[in-house]
């Protein structure tokens, strides 16, 4: 079955595809001093859409300068900024970076560059740790991830912003946006798997989403956005990158995290189930949320293979970074699809101590 969309490319797709003039190291250092009062040495960090610079001061302290893509809507920038400030004030123990004020007391500086290119500049505290993707996987680490995400989501409960429902390519509640990208998947078997996944989403998941709890969520808890303690890799030391935040079903946040925990085995959900169970202990899930979680995980995997495949063709110079999660996502999608109907739901239900057929 082939699903096609009649929609034209979204603003978000244009944002991903557009190439914008880049800030240089010298630019970053000048902005750090002139605007934020920081005399630093800057180093460019890897990123997909925006630009990030690691700032090092002579006294040993460090920050990150974040320069948004010029095509980003200023209202979206404000949404992300206000969400980060809300997290900073809601729970000081949350492992999230804090925003630094400019010399004149603002959290966002609008930088006007050559050819009228305008972008938002923010500086955040640098949190130390080892990226999750560089550490050995373990059961206790999966549990710690679930606990950290639950605390994050609880801190965001009640936060509202006029732009929270903005259009976002990486928003799996709108997975139908991927329809036109599936035709570009070269492998016929993989393309068929992707089309079946989207067809199931449209038939069984999309109609049920309006009945789920909604709030602003992180929406991108991938292993590149999580740091762990170098000495204790089972302790989460930082949750990073709020660039994909959106208002969506709460369980979507957990589905995104779990999509990166699947294993290449006949029991792909073992570690994901531990993450779900620990999340549920702190921020209890409802029965409809648990029942839809496996298909939401599959939808996130679908987004990963479709978007990264398309993006790699748009920007071959950044292909390695863009495709870093592509192969594992295909494996996870295939492993989930191989499970008997209802098995994934039952596994996650048992992990939460629930029986979906007879909820207490």
Q: What is the pLDDT of residues 319-346, one digit of tens each?
A: 998 999 999 999 999 999 999 989 999 9
146-161 per-position pLDDT tens digit: 999 999 999 999 999 9
The pLDDT assigned to 66 comes to 97
The pLDDT assigned to 12 comes to 54
Q: Is residue 10 domain-resident?
A: no
Q: Is residue 358 domain-resident?
A: no
Identify each DSSP E strand in 72-182 by its residue range: 109-112, 118-125, 130-131
- In this structure, the answer to whether residues 63 and 152 fall within a common structural domain is no
- In this structure, the answer to whether residues 179 and 301 fall within a common structural domain is yes
- In this structure, the answer to whether residues 73 and 142 fall within a common structural domain is no
- In this structure, the answer to whether residues 280 and 327 fall within a common structural domain is yes
- In this structure, the answer to whether residues 94 and 172 fall within a common structural domain is no
Is a pLDDT exceeding 70 seen at residue 180? Answer: yes
Q: Is residue 1 domain-resident?
A: no
Q: Is residue 27 domain-resident?
A: yes
Domain count, the chain: 2
Query: Are β-strands 226-228 and 236-239 bridged in parallel, bridged antiparallel, or unpaired?
Result: antiparallel
Q: How confident is the model at residue 3 (pLDDT cuts 50, 70, 90)?
A: very low
- In this structure, the answer to whether residues 144 and 255 fall within a common structural domain is yes
Domain that holds residue 63: 19-125
Q: Are 62 and 56 in contact (CB under 8 A)?
A: yes
Phi, psi of 45 (to 5 degrees): -100, 160
Q: How confident is the model at residue 49 (pLDDT cuts 50, 70, 90)?
A: confident
Is a pLDDT exceeding 70 seen at residue 175? Answer: yes
Q: Is residue 300 domain-resident?
A: yes
The pLDDT assigned to 16 comes to 52
| Cα(93)–Cα(144) distance, integer angstroms | 15
User: Domain boundary residue among 79, 94, 125?
Assistant: 125
Residues 181, 183, 185, 188: is their CA dihedral positive or negative? positive
SS3 192: helix
SS3 145: helix
Q: Which residue in 1, 16, 3, 11 sits closest to 307, CA to CA? A: 16
Q: Is residue 177 domain-resident?
A: yes
Structure token digits, residue 43: 């180093």
- In this structure, the answer to whether residues 244 and 318 fall within a common structural domain is yes
User: Domain boundary residue among 125, 142, 159?
Assistant: 125
Q: How confident is the model at residue 8 (pLDDT cuts 50, 70, 90)?
A: very low
| Cα(169)–Cα(16) distance, integer angstroms | 9
Q: Which residue in 45, 38, 43, 44 sits closest to 59, CA to CA? A: 38
Q: Is residue 9 domain-resident?
A: no
CATH number where 262 lies: 3.90.1200.10
- In this structure, the answer to whether residues 143 and 41 fall within a common structural domain is no
- In this structure, the answer to whether residues 290 and 268 fall within a common structural domain is yes
- In this structure, the answer to whether residues 76 and 170 fall within a common structural domain is no
Worst-scoring range by mean pLDDT, 217-221, 259-263, 280-284, 311-315?
311-315
- In this structure, the answer to whether residues 141 and 182 fall within a common structural domain is yes
Is a pLDDT exceeding 80 seen at residue 17? Answer: no
- In this structure, the answer to whether residues 190 and 302 fall within a common structural domain is yes
Q: Is residue 13 domain-resident?
A: no
pTM of the model: 0.91
The pLDDT assigned to 318 comes to 86
126-146 per-position pLDDT tens digit: 999 999 999 999 999 999 999
Q: Which residue has the tokens 């955040």?
A: 124
Q: Are 334 and 327 in contact (CB under 8 A)?
A: no
The pLDDT assigned to 14 comes to 55
User: Domain boundary residue among 101, 125, 149?
Assistant: 125
């Amino acid at each position: 079955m082939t699903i096609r969309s009649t929609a034209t490319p979204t603003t978000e797709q244009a944002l991903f595809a557009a190439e914008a003039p880049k800030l240089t190291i010298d630019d970053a250092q000048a902005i750090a001093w002139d605007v934020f009062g920081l005399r630093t040495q800057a180093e460019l960090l890897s990123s997909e859409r925006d630009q990030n610079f690691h700032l090092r001061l002579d006294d040993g302290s460090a920050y990150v300068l974040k320069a948004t893509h010029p095509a980003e809507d200023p209202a979206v920038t404000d949404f992300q900024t206000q969400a980060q400030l809300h997290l900073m004030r809601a729970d000081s123990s949350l492992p999230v970076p804090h925003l630094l004020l400019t010399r004149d007391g603002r959290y966002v500086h609008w930088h006007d560059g050559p050819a009228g290119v305008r972008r938002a500049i923010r500086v955040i505290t640098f949190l130390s740790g080892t990226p999750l993707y560089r550490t050995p996987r373990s059961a206790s680490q999966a549990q710690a991830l679930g606990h950290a995400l639950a605390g994050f989501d609880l801190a965001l409960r009640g936060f509202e912003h006029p732009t929270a429902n903005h259009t976002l390519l990486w928003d799996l509640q709108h997975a139908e946006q991927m329809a036109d990208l599936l035709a570009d998947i070269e492998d016929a078997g993989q393309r068929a798997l992707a089309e079946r996944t989207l067809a199931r989403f449209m038939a069984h998941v999309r109609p049920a989403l309006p009945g789920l709890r909604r709030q602003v969520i992180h929406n991108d808890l991938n292993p590149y956005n999580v740091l762990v303690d170098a000495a204790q890799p089972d302790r989460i030391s930082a949750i990073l990158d709020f660039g994909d935040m959106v208002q969506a079903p709460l369980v979507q946040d957990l589905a995104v995290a779990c999509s990166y925990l699947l294993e290449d085995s006949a029991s792909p959900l073992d570690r994901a189930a531990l993450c779900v169970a620990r999340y549920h202990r702190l921020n209890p899930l409802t029965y409809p949320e648990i029942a839809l979680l496996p298909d939401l995980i599959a939808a996130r995997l679908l987004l990963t293979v479709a978007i990264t495949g398309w993006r790699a063709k748009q920007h071959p110079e950044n292909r390695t970074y863009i495709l870093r999660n592509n192969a594992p996502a295909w494996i996870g999608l295939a492993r989930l699809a191989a499970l008997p109907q209802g098995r994934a739901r039952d596994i996650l239900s048992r992990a939460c101590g629930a029986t979906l057929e007879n909820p207490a």
